[in-house]
Amino acid sequence: MINGKITYKLNESIIVGAEAAILESDSFYKAGIDYQITNDLNINSVINLFSNGSNYYQINAIYKNLAVQFNDYDDSHDLNEEPKIDNYFYGIGDNQELAISYNQEILSGNAYISYINQRSEKNNYYSDYDIYNIGYSRLIFTDSNLSINFSKVNSKSNFIRDDSWVISVGLDIPIGNFDSVRYSGDFDDSSQSNRIAYNHHVELMDNVDGSVEAGIRYDSGDYSDKDLVSDASISLNNNNYYYNSSLYGYADSEGYASLSMNLSTNTVITSDNIFATSHSSESYLSLNNHSYIDTEKDDVFSSVANIKMNNELSKRIHINERSELVPIDNYKEYQVSIDTEASDFYNQGDDFIKATTAPGTVIDMDLRLYNVDSYISIFNDLSGSPVSNIKCIGDGCYGVQEIQDGVYKIRVAKGQPFKLVTNNERCFIPSSDSIESNNLGENFCMPTTENIDGIQMAKINDKYYYYVGLYNDKDIFMNTANTLSSNFNEKFVFKNAGNKTMVFFSSDNKLSKLDKENINTLQSYALDDTKAKSDYVKL
């Protein structure tokens, strides 16, 4: 099979689309247009032509609360032949349908009226149905719901002509949060049926709910025995992201019993993914996240996909899973933007896409959402003074905010590399395996130094600080230093650099020759600090 589709937005109001498919023995060509004339008036139409001469036309118009739909299918294939591709789409035999509906709010309730005409013809057999509906529903007594509907059906065919009507009345009276009493009645020209029931709603677990109901029905009329019939039923529903399922059981005092189950899902196949969803649609938006989301946290603010349809906000989707498949309409222009400003996530993937839909369209957005964690840290220099102008570098950076002098709020993407710097010098925080809370305590930043006879020196507040080196163990360093001088260790300043220790020698004056020799000796035991000063870290 060869299949191709295209949609194009002519202007702010008109979208056109076309599709062609060539199969082994069939082919079809489809064209459609969607015209948003005003905010209240929309017209769309589809024409589908088939290689065997069959054709299908459809036009829909919506004006405020009034909707009109007309479709016509002309089946040109011989009924003695195998069904063609158009028969799988629209059935066998010519058929035509006109539907008109209108609804309006009246007296705090909803009134509706509709008319449907259905015609079909297969060989020499034809049928014609006119269906009229008018109804009204509203709340009474605060939470009780009353509904009244009148339905009339006029049908005719080659051999029979029949007219029927029925008036239906329903009343639902809630009792508490989970129980209700229900009455329903159906009345026509030859019979009536009245039923009263008690219903109890049950919630068994997440996504599983249902109801248990017991009732009494009284039927009377030309074809009933005027008997009381008691009945009981149970219904369960399990609806989740991937599938919908239901179970219904019924039994009455006349010996009738039934049990039915249903399971439904929809499979969407793209060039690089297969999705299952409980939402049925001809077009979808795929929000596919390729990174890690910690869904176990209850207090996480999720990112949001803002979905605009024809330049108007249609819906907002909270992204809480690795993949989200959102059903969308055909022949519409969509603009989707990912909003992470108020969330605990950081997106390094697609943040905006614009596309026009046709049947079979999947708008694919590749996201890379990372959990953003917030930390508080105090940064001081070697003299204990607050450090200013700290910046974050790397993919994991989301924001650095100085709350007060030397106190910073750091927001970083979980598992992504970053480093903190000031004046191009490294600022150190505890290693990830030693962090027990979001308060990182007091930390330090490397000062800007100059090279004095092979030793890095910084002058802060009229005091000299000489960089000795990076060491694994502070105690081992002290033992080594004590072998050189008994009072030498009183001048050392120790700072944590991850899970290691940086050592500085402090002095009110410049180094003496002996101090310089001792520092050179200690530096021979130091670790290579190139990575510690330049490497990115992850939290």
Give the pLDDT band (50/70/90) at residue 122: confident
Cα angle vertex 242, ends 237, 246, to 5°? 20
pLDDT at res. 251: 97
Residue 433 DSSP label: G
Q: What's the rounded Cα separation, in Å, for the pair 424 and 266? A: 54
For the domain that residue 315 is a member of, what is the CATH number?
Answer: 2.60.40.10
- The stretch 206-218 carries a mean pLDDT of 93
Greater model confidence, 1 or 102? 102
Which of 46, 69, 92 delimits the end of a domain?
92
Count up the domains in the chain and report the number: 3
Tell me: pLDDT of 65 over 60: yes
Contact 419, 442 (CB under 8 A): no
Residues 128-177 pLDDT 10s: 999 999 999 999 987 899 999 999 999 998 878 888 999 999 999 999 88
pLDDT at 167: 97
To the nearest 5 percent, what fractions of the chain are helix, strand and coil? 5, 60, 30
pLDDT in tens, 426-468: 898 888 777 888 899 999 898 888 988 888 999 888 889 999 9
Q: Are residues 319 and 431 in the same domain?
A: no
Q: In the numeric block, which tokens belong to residue 370?
A: 């990372």
For residue 511, give the DSSP letter.
P
Which of 41, 62, 92 is where one domain is finished?
A: 92
Residue 390 inside a domain? The answer is yes
Burial of 340 per CB tally in 10 Å (0-12, 13-18, 19+) = buried
Q: What is the DSSP letter of 510?
A: P
SS3 for 274?
strand
> Is there a single domain that holds both residue 501 and residue 378?
yes
| Same domain for 278 and 390 | no
Rounded CA separation 32/5 (Å):
11
pLDDT on residue 513: 86
More confident site: 66 or 357: 66
- Residue 493, class by beta-carbon neighbours within 10 Å (0-12 exposed, 13-18 middle, 19+ buried)? middle
For the chain, give the longest Cα–Cα distance.
122
Q: Read off the pLDDT of residues 464-480 as tens digits, 9 standing for 90 and up.
A: 999 999 998 888 888 88
For the chain, what is the radius of gyration of the CA atoms? 37
Tell me the β-bridge partners of 420: 392, 427
Indicate if 300 and 429 belong to the same structural domain. Answer: no
Residue 60 has pLDDT above 80, yes or no: yes
Put the strands of the sheet holding 352-356 in their side by side order: 312-319, 303-309, 333-339, 352-356
- In the predicted model, what is the mean pLDDT of the chain? 88
Residue 166 lies in a domain: no
pLDDT at 514 over 80: yes
- pLDDT, average across residues 240-251: 94
pLDDT value, residue 462: 85
Q: Is residue 42 a part of any domain in this protein? A: yes
Whether residue 29 is found in the same domain as residue 85: yes
Q: What is the pLDDT of residues 292-313, one digit of tens each?
A: 665 555 567 788 999 999 888 9
| Cβ–Cβ under 8 Å, residues 376 and 401 | no
Burial of 287 (0-12, 13-18, 19+ CB in 10 A): buried
The reply to whether 274 and 357 lie within a common domain is yes
Do 330 and 356 contact (CB within 8 A), yes or no?
no
Residue 20, domain CATH: 3.30.1300
Question: Domain for residue 131, yes or no?
Answer: no
Same domain, 330 and 397: no
* Residue 409 near residue 376 (C-beta atoms within 8 A): yes
Q: Please tell me whether residues 344 and 392 are part of one structural domain.
A: no
User: What does the block give as tokens for 15?
Assistant: 């979208």
In whole angstroms, what is the distance from residue 526 CA to residue 518 CA? Answer: 13
Q: Clarify whether residues 22 and 84 are in a common domain.
A: yes
User: Does residue 527 share a domain with residue 378?
Assistant: yes
Question: What's the mean pLDDT in 356-362?
Answer: 87
Sequence letter at residue 520: N
Count how many residues are written for the chain: 539
20 near 360, Cβ under 8 Å? no
Does 362 share its domain with 378? no
pLDDT at 72: 95
Task: Describe the crossing of helices 474-482 and 513-523 by its angle, rounded to 10 degrees.
Answer: 140
d(CA 281, CA 386): 58
How many CB atoms sit inside 10 A of residue 289's CB?
Answer: 22
Q: Which two tokens stand for residue 32?
A: 């459609």
Q: Which of 335, 367, 399 finishes a domain?
A: 367
Question: How far does CA 319 lie from the centroid of its chain?
Answer: 4
| Whether residue 503 sits in one domain with residue 455 | yes
pTM, full prediction? 0.61
Domain assignment present for residue 355? The answer is yes
Whether 242 has a pLDDT exceeding 60, the answer reads yes
Of 427, 382, 426, the residue nearest 408 (C-alpha): 427
Strands of 343-472, DSSP E: 345-347, 352-356, 362-367, 369-380, 391-393, 397-404, 407-413, 419-422, 425-427, 439-444, 450-452, 455-460, 463-471
Residue at 191 is within a domain: no
Owning domain of residue 71: 1-92
Q: Is residue 217 part of a domain?
A: no
Strands of 37-83, DSSP E = 41-50, 55-63, 66-74
Tell whether 330 is covered by a domain. yes
